[in-house]
Amino acid sequence: MNEKLRHLDDEQLLLALYGAAAPEAAAHLDACAECAAQLRRLQSRRLELAAAPLLPASDARLRAQREAVYQAIEKKRARPYWRALQAGALACSVLLAVLLYRPAPPPQETTAAHALTDQQLFNDLAEMINRDTPAAAEPLMALFAAPEEKETQTQ
Ligand SMILES: [Zn+2]
């Protein structure tokens, strides 16, 4: 009976977004305008992103996005009950972070093809999840710290 009063959390919303909502969650969405609106927001954001593939967000921006995602992962890893929720919850948080992260407006200068795509981000994350070592983020953090130095070294 308490179920009705509880709004859907981010993970439930994401499952709904991808058509995998639990029956109770689906029922709640039918009954709750607030959660339904939130789901519509996610849906339109998802469509926006899908309609603008590989747009030139700046490397710095992408790096910041990754750092935020990796840090969120490390934080969650520290919790004891994390393991039980690991795969599903992490996938949800990552998707949510990406969906809600407003992409920067296209920069004036078209950045040359850079390697930091969402696809790569997901691949990195999948690797991290599978590897399951607490310090997995460190070498990856180094990856996006490196190019920055080159930028400051203009001939
Ligand atoms: Zn609700």
CA 17 to ligand 1 center in whole angstroms: 15
Q: Is 106 helix (H, G, I), strand (E, B) or coil?
A: coil
Q: What is the pLDDT of residue 52?
A: 72
Where are the chain's structural domains?
A: 10-51, 59-98
CA 51 to ligand 1 center in whole angstroms: 28
CA 27 to ligand 1 center in whole angstroms: 10
Residue 65, pLDDT > 80, answer yes
Q: What is the pTM of this model?
A: 0.38
CA 28 to ligand 1 center in whole angstroms: 6
Cβ neighbours of residue 88 closer than 8 Å, sequence gap 6 or more: 11
Q: What is the pLDDT of residue 38?
A: 95
Residue ranges with CB less than 5 Å from ion ligand 1? 7, 32, 34-35
Tell me, what amino acid is at 4? K
Q: Which of 1-5, 111-115, 120-124, 140-144 has the highest mean pLDDT?
A: 120-124
Q: What is the pLDDT of residues 37-61, one digit of tens each?
A: 999 999 998 888 878 766 666 788 8
- Tokens found for residue 20: 């995998």
Cβ neighbours of residue 86 closer than 8 Å, sequence gap 6 or more: 129
Confidence of residue 154 (pLDDT cuts 50, 70, 90): very low
Q: What is the pLDDT of residues 80-126, one digit of tens each?
A: 555 555 666 667 777 777 777 656 655 554 444 445 666 677 777 77
Q: By percentage, how much of the chain surpasses pLDDT 90? A: 22
CA 89 to ligand 1 center in whole angstroms: 20
CA 95 to ligand 1 center in whole angstroms: 20
CA 32 to ligand 1 center in whole angstroms: 5
CA dist 87 to 127, 137, 155, Å? 12, 16, 46
Q: Calculate mean pLDDT across residues 18-23.
A: 91
CA 97 to ligand 1 center in whole angstroms: 20
Q: What is the pLDDT of residue 42?
A: 93
